[in-house]
Amino acid sequence: MTYSFPRASRRATLALTATLALAGAMALQPAAAQQLVPAQSDIGFVSKQMGVPVEGHFTKFSAQVVLDPAKPEAGKVSLTVDTGSATLGVKETDAELPKPVWFNVARFPQATFQSSAIRAAGLGKYEVRGTLSIKGASQQVTVPVALAQSGATTTATGNFAIKRLAFKIGEDEWADTSMVADEVQVKFKLVFTGMAKL
């Protein structure tokens, strides 16, 4: 025996099926990427030369962040820094930084960070693990990040240490750590729009 749904029931069933399919597709879509506000953001570094702290900055960088604070494990962070934009604020010193013994900008114009895991570490705090690549060398780093929100913007701040010699930053006579310390502190403030509320 063949049973036929009434036409209205068929239409309702098709509408329900289409709605569920659309909802499922939307659930599979990644969260919208946040937008960096470059004018309010900063990436800096502090090294020690003969024991004296020297602070520098990168003036050109970009960041792609997709993060739902409620589901950080599904998030992704990608950062690209133009190494040729490094500045210590002194013209003569800045002219040395792009050279092969330092950043070798001609061969390695960009440094990158790509996240591999993000986990919550308390209210508004996260640990972002990933690969940092500078001057052709790559290292795994874990970066502590604190998020704060004001109005429509979210500010991510943090700092972490790297060993410059692991990335061959400062070669030949500049590899002498009594002149320039091996440890360099990297600090950042990245301001975004479009992030969900914490």
Full-model pTM:
0.82
pLDDT, one tens digit per residue, over 82-135 is 999 999 999 999 999 999 999 999 999 999 999 999 999 999 999 999 999 999
Q: For residue 135, what are the contacts with CB-CB under 8 A and spacing of at least 6? A: 83, 103, 104, 108, 111, 167, 168, 169
| Domain assignment present for 15 | no
Q: From CA 181, how far away is CA 160, in angstroms rounded?
A: 15
Predicted pLDDT of residue 21: 41
pLDDT, one tens digit per residue, over 7-36 is 444 454 444 444 434 334 333 334 568 999
| Domain assignment present for 136 | yes
CATH code (residue 45)? 2.40.128.110
| Domain assignment present for 10 | no
First to last CA, the chain: 58
Q: How many domains does the chain have?
A: 1
| Domain assignment present for 144 | yes
- Residue-number span of the structural domain to which 118 is assigned: 31-193
| Domain assignment present for 3 | no
**SS3 per residue for the chain:** CCCCCCHHHHHHHHHHHHHHHHHHHHHHCCCCCEEECHHHCEEEEEEEECCEEEEEEECCEEEEEECCCCCHHHCEEEEEEEHHHEECCCHHHHHHCCCCCCCCCCCCCEEEEEEEEEEECCCCEEEEEEEEEECCEEEEEEEEEEEEEECCEEEEEEEEEEEHHHHCCCCHHHHCCCCECCEEEEEEEEEEECCCCC
Q: From CA 42, how far away is CA 34, in angstroms rounded?
A: 17
